[in-house]
């Protein structure tokens, strides 16, 4: 079974802090994604990566950056967290764009 794990289920940070969200997949997938999920807005793509060190902006990249130094790991970085970044963050991976496998999510609260 494909497994996508995220470093934390719940995270509380203060405004202005630098926040790292980590995602690891164990199936050698090329593609990895970061989404945020908010009530009434569905899943919105922040960034995705189609290979190591390769990344592409999604629909809402402002305020975020990403890093992919190893194939299995994809990190989402909030350079200076703000309250409007309070959300559920979901990581996913896929092999050449077919089925995406999602992690359990990280619920981030920025105070």
Partner 1 sequence: QQPVQSPQAVILREGEDAVINCSSSKALYSVHWYRQKHGEAPVFLMILLKGGEQKGHDKISASFNEKKQQSSLYLTASQLSYSGTYFCGTDLTGTASKLTFGTGTRLQVTL
- Residue 87 CB, shortest distance to partner 1, in Å, is 14
- Residue 9 CB, shortest distance to partner 1, in Å, is 11
Nearer Cβ to partner 1 (29/81) = 29
Nearer Cβ to partner 1 (24/103) = 103
Residues of this chain that interact with partner 1 (CB under 8 A) are 4, 31, 35, 40-45, 48, 50, 56, 58-59, 90, 94, 96-105
Q: How far apart are CA 111 and CA 109, in angstroms?
A: 6
Q: How far apart are CA 10 and CA 27, in angstroms?
A: 25
- Residue 90 CB, shortest distance to partner 1, in Å, is 7
Residues 63, 85 contacting (CB under 8 angstroms) = yes
Q: How far apart are CA 110 and CA 56, in angstroms?
A: 25
Q: Which strands form 19-25's sheet, in the order they lie side by side?
A: 4-6, 19-25, 73-78, 64-70
Nearer Cβ to partner 1 (23/81) = 23
């Amino acid at each position: 079974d494909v497994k996508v794990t995220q470093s934390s289920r719940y995270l509380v940070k203060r405004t202005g802090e630098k926040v790292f969200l980590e995602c690891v997949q164990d199936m050698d997938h090329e593609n990895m994604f970061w989404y945020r999920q908010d009530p009434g807005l569905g899943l919105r793509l922040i960034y995705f990566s189609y290979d190591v060190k390769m990344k592409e902006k999604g629909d809402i990249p402002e305020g975020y950056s990403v890093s992919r130094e190893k194939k299995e790991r994809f990190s989402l970085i909030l350079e200076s967290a703000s309250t409007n970044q309070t959300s559920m963050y979901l990581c996913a991976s896929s092999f050449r764009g077919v089925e995406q496998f999602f992690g359990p999510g990280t619920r981030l609260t920025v105070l």
